[in-house]
């Protein structure tokens, strides 16, 4: 009995210790990532996973009190812009399959799901710096993201969301 409890205790300490380096749990505390993540959804965040475009990530901005979940849209050294509800990276049109239905609904109701912008309009720079990322929430109409608070530095990205539950 004691050995079993001791083993369980050691396992808990090991898992807790690894969470500082390899993974973290987080909760979606806003509607910014809807429909991908509903308010209150828990996620597993992998801290060592390589960051790629369209990854959903957990961030902690320098001057923010809490963490946020957003989507990586622009990578370092890229040009990012939106024209007519369409994403362009380095002047190449990109798809965003996770908001297809929302964009269709917006067109049907005669408005744009994501308003036009260029990186230059928002930051004064034409491309992202070498350690900066451009993030957006999937719920573009209500998300506070890089369009408002600017670019995210690599050090502000905690990790990549890998599992939702």
Check if 108 is active-site: no
Active-site entry in 30, 60, 79, 103 = 30
Calculate the CA dihedral of residues 61, 28, 141, 86 and round it to 10 degrees: 80
Residue 30 annotated among the catalytic residues of the structure: yes
DSSP 91-127: TEEE--GGGHHHHHHHHHTTS-SS--EEHHHHHS-SS
Q: What share of the chain is helix, strand, coil (3-state, %, to 5)?
A: 25, 30, 45
User: Active site residue: 28, 34, 70, 146, which one?
Assistant: 70
Helix (H, G, I), strand (E, B) or coil at 154: helix
Residue 131, number of CB atoms within 10 A of its CB: 13
What three-state secondary structure class fits 7?
helix
Number of H helices, E strands in the chain: 4, 11
Q: Which residues lie across from 42 on neighbouring strands?
A: 27
Active site residues: 30, 70
């Amino acid at each position: 009995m004691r050995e079993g409890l001791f083993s369980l205790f050691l396992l808990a300490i090991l898992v807790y210790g690894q969470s500082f380096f390899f993974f973290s749990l987080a909760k979606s505390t806003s509607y910014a990532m809807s429909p991908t993540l509903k308010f209150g959804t828990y996620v597993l965040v992998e801290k060592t996973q390589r960051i790629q475009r369209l990854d959903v990530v957990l961030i902690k901005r320098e001057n923010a009190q809490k963490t946020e979940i957003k989507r990586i849209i622009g990578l370092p050294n890229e040009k990012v812009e939106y024209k007519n509800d369409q994403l362009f990276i380095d002047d190449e049109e990109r798809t965003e399959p996770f908001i297809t239905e929302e964009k269709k609904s917006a067109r049907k109701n005669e408005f744009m799901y994501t308003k036009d912008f260029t990186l230059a309009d928002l930051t004064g720079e034409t491309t992202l710096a070498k350690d900066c990322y451009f993030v957006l929430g999937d719920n573009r109409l209500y998300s506070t993201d890089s369009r408002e608070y600017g670019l995210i530095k690599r050090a502000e990205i905690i990790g990549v969301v890998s599992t939702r539950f």
